[in-house]
Structure 1
């Protein structure tokens, strides 16, 4: 008789290591077996658990990020778990440094960063955004370093092998043989993918290999693994509706141009918006002035939005300080009964750090990348990467949290949080 728990597919348990919070939540939402997002990398993982661990390495130095990854690999590789390193689908972050440590001691490394649902595909080892090679788009406009022209360049490995689409689509037996042959050369293998079916094929092929073969991928590969694993047990649903709607505080820490339109949609439906200047957030003193403005924005408002004023360009090197300062201002005035919508992985993590949150319980997905979670003490939280979603994204995220969805936000919502 198998020793595996009921409904658990045979094989090694999966542990996902993410480099930021919104990416961690994105992965948790598409893994049916995931019950916890851990914000403490040293937290104990239960046997047969499928946790997603936010290493919070994106905002570290390359050396600091590499150390965090190395520590996590040492902790979890000895358990026999299969490891997935969540990477940014546009190759941002410390991909080379983290992957080098992640691959140490592995018998192979399979890299598949495509997310077809978000228009992010890989052909000939080159990431494409809606069909256009990444280096010819504006996808890296906020990054301080040059855009890589290929996944191999982002990895810093000239010996990287590419498994082209014709091999990915050649059938399970052929793909498995091609993958084993490429891995035998000892270099990372980048898998092309333009559809979810491509990623399903890659994931199935990797799961047939020893658990010592590790994976690097974005939400698309994680979702493929989730589809293969299937449901383990029903997740916790939204909590009981309170007697009165709880206030919702939206914190927008992204500089993405689409955020302006998203905030405008919220304010049109009754939300109160306050933009805090970068100068006041980064200025000397105890931050009392932005906190006072935040308090005024939140006072008595069913839905309030706090963002950073975009009237002046901000040096990208100041972004981490801005995120921390914005988080401190929010945490200083946040009502105990308020739920949260947090955009931008760094901002989301800073706010939760200020609130001493170390575990999130995934509830569901509002739309692609926008993930509804709950804290252990019952606060509802929706996170989302900064650049995701259309003009109604924030409206939908707020609607997913409102018990009385017809009051502060006059948008009709379906039962899954999406517009009817």
Structure 2
């Protein structure tokens, strides 16, 4: 095994790990620390794990990361696998605390959250660009020296920083850094796959981000007020879109999310679509948990920023596409629907 990616949410784990799958490597994702030991024993080239810790208390987040570190250390890959700490490209979450929990004493560290192809850069040590309203100091947030935070205005900048970095150091970053690391990990016998999702497909829109809402203009979503999903009905088209909406009464986002995950999981278990899109990392993780899915094989990108995986346990052989709420152009979902092929 070459790399173990430790991410604080599911979409982050998949967004970073897909770069390796796109190079033809076998890549798995454990949907929590409890599934990591099994994933590590499945002879993959790369394993990602989601700790689901971005929105929880810092003390609990640190405990989960330390648990992951110990599981990797005790596995047969403990001395050979390189650790990659995936962080949010806008530096949300417990960046410094989780990084410190994974880092060995005096271990060299490189922190680069830039994703140049999405217009997100590091300039003079400050994270800036698309989606970053006010530039943020990478060193201050990660609590590392400024020298550990290279500027990155292009993918070539990231590649150069990685080339100059010691092999035994801890890498901390987002999809841009993962892409450069993956480019150095190509196997001579690796083969690229043709990633084509099948229909019928269920699009579950749990995100309320304006970017995602704009992508629904060409669809007629079935509303799920406060996450209350209607009973399953047979598909009348290749795509069925179900969207979580506001209800007549106000409930907590946690309660709405739980109801939405339960309802979508019921649709999948009853109708058994070939493919399933989840928009929003928490929605994707919760729905998979309801279906007893704990390990995914990441196949590659359907579209830029939309990784596709296949479930390996629970409801097996379901093609799962994930999209972060704030990602994509207005025609992203239309383009995805156009790529579907008949099962």
TM-score (norm 2): 0.86
Task: Give the Å deviation of 1:48.
Answer: 7.0
Pairs within 5 Å for 1:233-272: 233-234=190-191, 237=194, 246-265=199-218, 267=219, 272=220
C-alpha separation in 2, matches of 1:246 and 1:368: 20
Q: Secondary structure in 2 aligned to 1:389? A: coil
Q: Secondary structure in 2 aligned to 1:16? A: strand
2:291 aligned with 1:355: yes
In the superposition, relative to structure 1, how do residues 322 and 375 fare at CA in structure 2: closer, same or farther (>3 Å)?
same
C-alpha separation in 2, matches of 1:324 and 1:397: 26
**Residue 37 of structure 2: aligned partner:** 43
**Residue 365 of structure 1: aligned partner:** 301
**1:28-63 deviations in whole A, cap 9, x for unaligned?**
211133421222423241467311122222243221
Is the 1:258–1:387 Cα contact (8 Å) retained in structure 2? yes
Question: How many residues end up aligned between the 2 structures?
Answer: 326
2:56 aligned with 1:67: no
**Residue 327 of structure 2: aligned partner:** 388
Question: Which protein has the bigger strand share?
Answer: 2
Task: Give the Å deviation of 1:397.
Answer: 2.4
**1:306-355 deviations in whole A, cap 9, x for unaligned?**
1122589978xx43433222111111222124420111111111111111
1:343 to 272, 279, 285: 279
In the superposition, relative to structure 1, how do residues 312 and 199 fare at CA in structure 2: closer, same or farther (>3 Å)?
farther
**Residue 325 of structure 1: aligned partner:** 259
C-alpha separation in 2, matches of 1:152 and 1:226: 24
In the superposition, relative to structure 1, how do residues 261 and 48 fare at CA in structure 2: closer, same or farther (>3 Å)?
closer
2:267 aligned with 1:273: no
C-alpha separation in 1, matches of 2:258 and 2:5: 25
2:154 aligned with 1:195: yes
- Alpha-carbon RMSD across the aligned residues, in angstroms, is 2.6
Is the 1:124–1:162 Cα contact (8 Å) retained in structure 2? no
2:232 aligned with 1:295: yes
Task: Give the Å deviation of 1:118.
Answer: 0.8
2:142 aligned with 1:150: no
In the superposition, relative to structure 1, how do residues 312 and 16 fare at CA in structure 2: closer, same or farther (>3 Å)?
farther
In the superposition, relative to structure 1, how do residues 313 and 97 fare at CA in structure 2: closer, same or farther (>3 Å)?
farther
TM-score (norm 1): 0.71
Structure 1 stretches lacking a partner, 5+ long = 1-11, 138-148, 164-188, 282-289, 405-420
Is the 2:124–2:151 Cα contact (8 Å) retained in structure 1? yes
**Residue 54 of structure 1: aligned partner:** 50
Is the 1:37–1:361 Cα contact (8 Å) retained in structure 2? yes
Structure 2 stretches lacking a partner, 5+ long = none
**Residue 83 of structure 2: aligned partner:** 83
- Structure number with greater Rg is 1
Q: Secondary structure in 1 aligned to 2:203? A: strand
Q: Secondary structure in 2 aligned to 1:371? A: strand
